[in-house]
Structure 1
Amino acid sequence: MNQLNKCSLTAILLCIIAFPAGAAAEPYAVQEGDTFHTIAQDNKLPLRNLQITNKRSGFQLKAGETITIPDSVATENKELMAKLVHAEAKGEPYEGKVAVATVVLNRVDSSDFPDTIKEVIYEKTGGIYAFSPVKNGAINDGYETNDMKAVNEAVAFRDQGMGSLYFYNPDKVTSDNWIFSRETIKTIGNHRFAK
């Protein structure tokens, strides 16, 4: 496979990973003076994702042309996710932090779970919270820069977790727990990620 084909395949795969089917996007009419950089900043998006969505690599835009702006996640939701990541994945590898944030996004995208980040994180079924840090209050302990970086990466490259909807530490779950019946997709640090 020649270098050009490899680059094209990589760009297509990145686009599929970053913006899977169903990810919301909206058209934007370019104004005089707009660049990909300024539009990315205004919409709190990674520059590269904006370029990939529009199948472009440069920075220049022409006034009047229409580009697509991918859906973004509100700052307050990112902060809530970062708090959950901090509480759930403290001491875990960075990749595990990204995967925890991705589980939240995958649940939002799944018809089996609530439709918003806040509802997913605070979900309670049959008196049991979906995430133990909500029950024990650890979600209120804040977050670190690395936790927010992991959230931003999960948002930018949605579905890195290969569709994972659950994660757990097998050393902290009783062997008769239903979670062991779920298909394990990947193990990162002390967590198993499952469908």
Structure 2
Amino acid sequence: MMFMPNMVLRVCFILLIFALSFNVSVAAADPPAKETYYVVAGDNLYNIGIKYGVSHGDLMSANELDSTTIRPGQTLIIPTGRTGPGQASRGNNNRGEADLLARLIQAEAASEPYPAKVAVGAVVLNRVNSSLFPNSIRLVINQVTNGTYQFTPVLNGSINRAAGAEAVQAAQEALSGADPTEGALFFFSTGVTDKHLQSRPVSMVVGKLTFAL
């Protein structure tokens, strides 16, 4: 079959259009832009996530982390420009977890001294960082083990009440790394008769709350 000159031009034109379309598609598939963050003392994945509007899970994935533990001097990749389905609101989810933490503090320690409020928040975050518990604030607070709710306010619904100013401040302080309990994973009312809780090493007692490792 012989090609006429005008047919050759048509074929070349079609190939040119195809090549241009391919280049545009490749350019559109470029990975999301990334920036870095230098970790300093007092940082944790939660407050970094709130600052940049990404979830701590995204930070863990971007940096191939197996836990939420980070150390001063570490450089983290911050994923940005994420526009995929369900990802635009992930920063809001982080803020939602901060609000959930504040509401738990309000429900558990409304009448307790301020240090106890911070300590309650610290216990939740210590659990998040422990391999013995789920790895997010929401999952830790809502955890049910063998039919037993880990936090009574989830069972009785008091966690749905708005947090007061002190509870909000205490939650932010705990999220910023404050831990007066020195690693406690449990807290309970003084005088509790649960033998399992009584057997655990006590790290501090504030008001009517006992904090244990």
TM bracket, shorter-chain basis: 0.5 to 0.7
Question: 1:132 matched to which residue of 2?
Answer: 152
Aligned with residue 149 of structure 1, among 144, 147, 169: 169
Aligned with residue 94 of structure 2, among 70, 74, 78: 74
The separation in 2 between residues aligned to 1:151 and 1:181, in whole angstroms, is: 28
Aligned with residue 127 of structure 2, among 90, 104, 107: 107
TM-score (norm 2): 0.59
Measure how far apart 1:40 and its partner are. 11
Aligned identity (percent) is: 38
Q: Does structure 1 residue 182 correspond to structure 2 residue 203?
A: no
Question: 2:106 matched to which residue of 1?
Answer: 86
Measure how far apart 1:145 and its partner are. 1.2
Q: Residues 146 and 111 of structure 1: is their aligned pair in 2 closer, same or farther, counting only changes over 3 Å?
A: same
The separation in 2 between residues aligned to 1:163 and 1:120, in whole angstroms, is: 16
Structure of higher RCO (CA pairs closer than 8 Å, 6+ residues apart): 1
TM-score (norm 1): 0.64
Q: Does structure 1 residue 194 correspond to structure 2 residue 198?
A: no
Measure how far apart 1:190 and its partner are. 0.7
SS at match of 2:210: strand
Measure how far apart 1:142 and its partner are. 1.5
> Which 4+ runs in 1 deviate beyond 3 A?
39-44, 67-70
Which string of whole-angstrom CA distances, capped at 9 and with x for unpartnered residues, describes residues 6-32 of structure 1? Answer: xxxxxxxx92xx24xxx549xxxxxxx
Report how many residues are paired.
143
Residues 118 and 179, structure 2, Cα contact 8 Å, conserved in 1: no
Question: 1:170 matched to which residue of 2?
Answer: 190
**Gap runs ≥5 in structure 1:** 1-13, 26-38, 45-52, 55-66
Q: Give the root-mean-square deviation of aligned CA atoms.
A: 3.0
Residues 102 and 159, structure 1, Cα contact 8 Å, conserved in 2: yes
One-letter amino acid of the structure 2 residue matched with residue 191 of structure 1? L
Q: Residues 42 and 135 of structure 1: is their aligned pair in 2 closer, same or farther, counting only changes over 3 Å?
A: closer
Residues 115 and 180, structure 2, Cα contact 8 Å, conserved in 1: no
Q: Does structure 1 residue 118 correspond to structure 2 residue 138?
A: yes
